[in-house]
Amino acid sequence: MRIGIEAQRIFRKKKHGMDMVALELIKNLQETDKENEYFIFVKPDTDSGCVKPTPNFHIIELKGGPYPTWEQIALPAAAKKYRCDILHCTSNTGPLFCKVPMVVTLHDIIYLESVSILKKGGTWYQKLGNMYRRFVVPPVVRKCRWVVTVSEFEKNRIGTFMGLKNNLVSIYNGVGSHFKKVDDPAILKSSAQKYNLPENFIFFLGNTDPKKNTPNVLKAFSLFNSQSALKYKLVMLDFDEDELHKILSDIGCENLREDIQLTGYVPNSELPAIISQCRLFLYPSLRESFGIPILEGMACGVPVITSNTSSMPEVAADAAILINPESPEEIASAIGNVLEDSTLYQTLSRKGIERASRFSWKKMAESYLELYKTVHN
């Protein structure tokens, strides 16, 4: 087979969820499949060394302009030029007009559930991206041979919204093998110095997307710290200072700023050393289609608090504390319970490591390869 994989954003320096999934898919297919020929279509950017070509994997850099024109014009033209038997679009959308049989990964359909550009929360870039997906995704999905999503929860949502049944499948994401408890003193010290990590801290992996529930997390942290004998700091990654100030002002917690450490962007490879030094991992999103960070925290042996909604119970099972994400009081209570109960703390740590071990990028890549074969046969 000649397999095209859309990986438009994997060369950008600051990679996030879908970028990392696409990158791990490609890397693990390189290790797994020496038989089929692959054409990886990417947009030129600074991190061109994140994946290397091999004898059967060709890295094709396409310029093509901004996201919509790259996807709608440059991508299908390249798939045709390289005579692909399959085109796998990895990031929620795809070309409206493509003669090559397509597989599309829909990580989520949140943009179909709430898309108003006038709605409070989120950046204009996020809102306009959601409007683009709302226009493009439904007709693209109807033309696909297979639609893949990342959890049974999201599979049911997509099936309901789009009326899909026989060509819809879920393939779980994985967790990187480098996510494990780091106990090397030199690595831990270097990480602590580089990111100015406090001694006792709770880790929150949030951003400006409303679904990440940052206001309620900050309210919960303020409530917990006001009641705790031992004061903690909250470490947040890659969060804009002005946006944080705005949220703290909106919730009436301006004084909380002195208890928050912003690290800036942290490469995925350096996350385990930070997570291994935190006391607790917070991931109480309002909505997720999977929740890779849940597994990343677990794999590092850190207790995780996440939400009792959407896909998160499916991913976490009984290895995390599940809370109502819209209740700061419940989040604060869960933080206190975990940190004050050593037996519960150790149980969650042990169960989390075991739970995370069930998910791997290799399994995900093998599942996709089997799916490619069904399209071609």
User: Can you give the residue range of the structural domain that contains 115?
Assistant: 2-174+360-376
Residue 202: inside a domain: yes
**What gap in Å lies between CA 361 and CA 47, rounded to an integer?**
21
pLDDT at 125 over 70: no
| Cα–Cα separations (whole angstroms), residue 83 to 68, 94, 146, 316 | 22, 18, 19, 41
Residue 179: inside a domain: no
**What gap in Å lies between CA 14 and CA 88, rounded to an integer?**
23
Predicted confidence (pLDDT) per residue in 64-113, tens digit: 888 889 999 999 999 999 999 999 999 999 999 999 999 999 999 887 76
**Domain shared by 216 and 278, yes or no:** yes
User: Which CATH number characterizes residue 104's domain?
Assistant: 3.40.50.2000
Tokens for 87?
């085109």
pLDDT at 35 over 90: yes
**What gap in Å lies between CA 357 and CA 298, rounded to an integer?**
9
| Confidence tier at 135 by pLDDT (50, 70, 90) | confident
Tell me the average pLDDT across 11-32. Answer: 94
**Domain shared by 200 and 134, yes or no:** no
**Domain shared by 295 and 191, yes or no:** yes
Predicted local confidence at residue 115, as pLDDT = 46
Tell me the average pLDDT across 163-170. Answer: 92
Residue 132: inside a domain: yes
Tokens for 217?
């997390």
Predicted confidence (pLDDT) per residue in 285-334, tens digit: 999 999 999 999 999 999 999 999 999 999 999 999 999 999 999 999 99
Tell me the average pLDDT across 246-271. Answer: 94
Predicted confidence (pLDDT) per residue in 211-233, tens digit: 899 999 999 999 999 998 888 99
Query: Half-sphere exposure (CA, 13 Å, Cβ side) for 331?
Result: 31
Residue 180: inside a domain: no
pLDDT at 118 over 60: no
Report the alpha-carbon angle 37-46-191, nearest 5: 110
**Domain shared by 170 and 211, yes or no:** no
**Domain shared by 351 and 202, yes or no:** yes
**Domain shared by 94 and 228, yes or no:** no
Phi and psi at residue 305, to the nearest 5°: -110, 120
CA 85 to chain centroid, in Å, comes to 29
Neighbouring residues of 89: CB distance < 8 A, sequence distance ≥ 6: 6, 71, 75, 95, 102, 103, 104, 105, 140
Residue 328: inside a domain: yes
Relative orientation angle of helices 342-356 and 328-340, to the nearest 10 degrees: 100
pLDDT at 165 over 90: no
Predicted local confidence at residue 252, as pLDDT = 94
The count of structural domains within the chain is 2
Tokens for 269?
């490879």
**Domain shared by 146 and 270, yes or no:** no
Predicted local confidence at residue 116, as pLDDT = 45
Share of the chain above pLDDT 70, in %: 96
Residue 237: inside a domain: yes
- 316 close to 297: Cβ distance less than 8 angstroms: no
**Domain shared by 241 and 335, yes or no:** yes
**Domain shared by 331 and 372, yes or no:** no
Predicted local confidence at residue 112, as pLDDT = 77
Tell me the average pLDDT across 176-198. Answer: 97
Predicted local confidence at residue 120, as pLDDT = 54
172-183 burial, b if ≥16 CB within 10 A, otherwise e? Answer: bbbbbeebbebe
**Domain shared by 81 and 212, yes or no:** no
**Domain shared by 255 and 368, yes or no:** no
Residue 110: inside a domain: yes
**Domain shared by 346 and 242, yes or no:** yes
Residue 207: inside a domain: yes
Tokens for 151?
């959890």
